[in-house]
Amino acid sequence: MFCHTGQVVQKIAVTLDQRTVADLDRWVKQGKYPNRSRALQSAVNILTEREKRTRLVRELAKIDPKEEKQLAEQGLGDRAWPAY
């Protein structure tokens, strides 16, 4: 099955509480999304991007600034580097 953008899509069944369904229906009624599926896809996309950013922040937190500075400064003054 393909969506309007030509991407392969897969149908799934989702069980949601009444409040969430009401929110989906309100967003569709307000024209924020053309249908429930697009609203749910958008929510999943947002969570995916948030997870990527969170993972990046965790990895960046592991960096030792002193070690990175030492690595960056290695070779400074070395004549092997071309002059600019």
Type of residue at 3: C
Cα dist from 21 to 4, 24, 38, whole Å = 24, 5, 13
Model pTM score: 0.60
Q: Is 49 helix (H, G, I), strand (E, B) or coil?
A: helix
Is the pLDDT score of 84 beyond 70?
A: no
pLDDT tens per residue, range 40-78: 999 999 999 999 888 888 888 888 888 888 877 776 666
**With bands split at pLDDT 50, 70 and 90, how would you rate the model's confidence at 2?**
low
- pLDDT (average), residues 28-45: 96
